[in-house]
Amino acid sequence: MSSRNIFIRLVQLAAVLALLVVMLGAYTRLSDAGLGCPDWPGCYGHLGVPESHEEVARANEAFPQRQVEAHKAWKEMIHRYFAGTLGLLILTITILAWRRRHTAPVGLGLPMALLAIVVFQALLGMWTVTLLVKPLVVTSHLIGGFTVFVLLWLLLLRAGVIETGSGVQRTGLKPLATLALGILVVQILLGGWTSTNYAAVACTGFPTCNGEWWPQMDFSEGFVLWRGLGINYEFGVLDSAARKAVHMTHRIGALVTFVMLLVLALRGLRLRADTVLRRWSMALLAMLVVQVALGIANVTLGLPLGVAVAHNGVGALLLAVVVTFNYLVRVRSEN
């Protein structure tokens, strides 16, 4: 196997693993296991989870404020194991890119950026624990995971793994695609803020919120980014009005995002001669419908764990599709 093929296979593996890490992170957070291990990078001073009676007793004595709950601790540690493996894989990809820097079409900038983000992600993972699941930190950690996945996907695009079409001009869609990407990124940020503030179930029912179209809400309190140190944010600290404000902002953002991405997909489908862009437009429509359905199901069914995790995973895939769309309308392949 050539060095190029090895590089591509590693990037493909890393992209799949990054998506899995995003979903594992969501599973850990949504199952209230974000503080399953009160220290970092180990768990109660162990590489694994304390299991014997003596180990558990010592751990409980060392961390009296956080008694051992093995099922939560294992969720946290499995997420860390996968994230650590992803980090090592990205380090390997960066080394290979550096060795092929004079011949590789992808360049060195993107792999180096990936490595830097992974290092910062590790710090955010540590601060998630040491700062007691502070919403700003946890949201940043979530966005970092999405960013790693999308940059790996972009690396595959630049490597020529995905068909872009030959000699096709699509510059007319650039402004719309750029705007759609920006709106989607804001919506993902709002989704992270909603989740990390435990506001996903602040409103029940759809399309109303607890039977009201516009309930009493406190936006100024709901969007305070920094509340100081030493506060345990597990299960949230916002009152009902603030949580409703966060939730309803996410809903409004979802409507704006849906309309924007729908327009983008329909514009792409109108280019009948551009088979590549039409395929990605259909993929965008499919992902959009699935994501909206999952979001509504989260509200109407009371945030089932499987549905909520899938909402995160499909969100990452939707972002990758929109990034691909932007890549396609900016890159014109030569015949």
Which of the residues are catalytic? 76
User: In the numeric block, which tokens belong to residue 37?
Assistant: 């291990």
User: In the numeric block, which tokens belong to residue 114?
Assistant: 């990936």
Angle between helices 240-269 and 174-196 (to 10 degrees): 150
Within 10 A of 116 (CB to CB), how many other CB atoms are there? 11
Q: Residue 187 in contact with residue 257, Cβ under 8 Å? A: yes
Residue 319's contacts (CB-CB under 8 Å, 6 or more residues apart) are 146, 149, 150, 184, 185, 188
Write down how long the chain is.
335
3-state secondary structure of 13: helix
List b or e across 228-242, with b for residues whose CB sees 16 or more CB atoms inside 10 angstroms.
eeeeebeebbbeeeb
Cα–Cα distance, 193 to 253 (Å, whole number) = 12
Q: Residue 276 in contact with residue 328, Cβ under 8 Å? A: yes
